[in-house]
A and B are shown apart, each in its own frame.
Chain A
Amino acid sequence: MATRVVVDPITRIEGHLRIEAEIKDGRIVDAYSSGTMVRGLEIILKGRDPRDAWAFTERACGVCTTVHALASVRTVENALGITVPPNAELVRNLMFAAQYMQDHVVHFYHLHALDWVDVVSALKADPKGTSEIARSISRWPKSSPKYFQDVQNRIKAFVASGQLGIFANAYWGHKAYKLPPEVNLLGVAHYLEALDWQREIVKVHAIFGGKNPHPNYLVGGVPCAINTEEVNAINIERLAEVGTLLDQAQTFVEQVYLPDLLAVASFYKDWGAIGGGLENYLAYGDLPTNGYGDPGRFKFQRGIVLGRNLNEVVPIDATDPGQIQEFISHSWYEYSDGDQAGKHPWVGETKLNYTGPKPPYEHLEVEQKYSWLKTPRWKGQPMEVGPLARMLVAYAAGNAEVREEVGAALKQLQVPVGALFSTLGRTAARGLETRLVARWAKEFYGQLLTNIKNGDSRTFDNAHWDPSTWPAEAKGVGLSEAPRGALAHWIVIKDGKIDNYQLVVPSTWNASPRDPKGQRSAYEAALLGTPVANPEQPVEILRTIHSFDPCIACAVHLYDESGSYRHQLDVF
């Protein structure tokens, strides 16, 4: 007999997400993913100044802050024919890299780790053993037995207080947790260290963009001026701080994040065969080295891997009305020409039309409409996006650095290439690309210094700033790679104002409901076959969903086949 599981809210994500899954014989046989919150940003953008759009869209997400701002300024620049100066491209790349490092580290330690690391088990660890393990995998200096003893004492005191705060009521002691106590203690210690570290790297955003979260961007370049002879501009003191921050970040990524990732992964190799889901991977690519107009020289390649064929990269054209389309057959919207249609974003429509159950409700009408996310498709096919897609597309495109990173990780874990297509593969790909981005950031930094040394300090192109220079009508698209995957904005400008603005974000690709043909998107597909040992404590669902790093609002409950909720257990 099948059991239906609902998880709502899915915590340790951005936004409101709900998963309903059907479990039979200890495995998931069907799943539904629902975004349960909407704000209507696309509606709000109509009629506004295109140069302001970055600020509105940046507020789509405060976790992957900056990425929508970048996509937005590229969209408007594409529409108006603006090419930004090389320094602006480099500053944008540095902000992009800082975002990846902060976001991926926070995802690993604060949003994902507690699916693999048992905090309670860490209390039983021998700190000497933890120290030996730490020193065997890294030269990170904070590794003495006394250090781990102090961390353990701190957690012991916390538990002794009887107020368990963020650790209350979780799945501690679940048999799916496989790490020895000593490794759990290592994970807890680095959870705390990473929380302290993450506020450092984002200072790169504060230096160039004034603040983080939500630094400032600018159509035509970047707002910060460079002047080596002025205290009121980006000068050598500011640049030196960026350089120091990048060095420190690279050290943390290489000496803490990557060794931890591989150490934890080595205990969970079975997850290299779970959670694969879709077989198509899409990446727009990013990090230009010769300007945004030359995608052939991006650090992350652009293209599609179809059917897990790593010998071919299929090109993407985001302006082709027949390639990328959004469907709403299972989403709470309506289209002027019927709900079965697919629409390219330039002619996209956003009209809210809630037809679900009136809250409070116990479950959604999954055969009808059940989400606030639209369903994007490429030539009618579902696509997974994100770090794994980026690594696979780059691998298939022959990117030597990516091939080396991926090959070394597979060798160290002693798992086959097929293990990439999994929950574990997704989590590992995120770490591997972080190491690459940390390295590339220093290249960009070096180039910026060289440009300035050679006398080029331009950061902004003024030629098309004034709306009087714009055509009466213009269309644009801006592509980027958010930490969570392929991100694009489309704009139609009429008479100097936004006539239509559409965002197709990574979690729309991954977390969307079914399309009119009944095809599942990435979350729903990846959950198929996932084992769930105890439906009352579905930590396995969290592992696979968190491996995508969701950026929406979700919720999950447990209910049995008759629709009644199961009682939850007091776990702690």
Chain B
Amino acid sequence: MAASDTIRTAGASTRERAADYLLRRHRFRLAEALPWLIAIAIFFIFPTRMTFGSQVLVMIMFALSLDLILGYAGIVTLGHAAFFGIGAYTVGLAAARLQWTEPISGLFAAASTAGLVGFITGWFLLRYRGLTLLMLTLATAILLQETGNLRSDISGGYDGLPGLAFKPLLGLFDYDLYGHTYYLYALAALAIVFYLVRRIVYSPFGQALTGIRENVRRMHAIGSPVHWRLVTVYTIAAAIAGVAGALFTQTNAYVTLTVFDFDNSAKVMVMLILGGTGRLYGAFIGATVYMVLEDYFSKLSPTFWQFGIGLMLVVAVLFAPRGILGVFENIDKYFGERKRT
């Protein structure tokens, strides 16, 4: 972005630059390899922390699914744990009641059930916006949780479904005590999901979601089927949250009704906002920072660890209102401008 660029903005070259910008925007940049390299490095550096590592990857996937609806489409929900829970219970119940313990097909089953519930609830709820939607999504998660509680003979209630055992991955890799297999399994699943989400975000459909977030009145006026678009993305996000929930059950080998907790819905939103919404990688940074600090604080003080989380949130809201990625962007912009002048 030197002065020569500014001069070239005149005339026909502006057209070229403008077209180039859209043609190139979706291409992978080198920096995007960084989170994956770090994830692989962690596998070798912290071989004894793989169970925790898997949980972080699960939460990244969960936050990523929320980013799709909150960050891109602007749907504010406090009930996203509903879909995480459905995914978690799909594989949990399948394993405990039906002896269906093959892990990968379990993920697909979880995606289907969570996606189906997302489609049905989304069809009804997405006519509303703002506080109404907030309450309705919250209520959905509570209803599901209480349904599970009502039929604790099936769900195991708040005692959950303990001691679930899953078949070896691809029939080859069994699970070791330190969860190395799980970590790589979760990482592979996250990589696939991330690729899907990234495609969607940069697709014309993804652009339309951004349009709905930016100005829904205009979207109606240019002929966009807004409700249909929202239901579609809500279904996809629900399916992904379901996969995250399924991975959660598989890596922990148990599941209880607390997966539907309001805490879980709120936590994933906090993670995403902490990292930065509508940026794909905000989910990676937010979930990692939150989980690592939570882990650290809870070891530091098993009784007062939430104080540390609270303090971190206050600092984040005061100094990084657009999330940690927002801070990086500001720094980047600052040096970019200094370089130009």
Q: Are A and B associated in one complex?
A: no
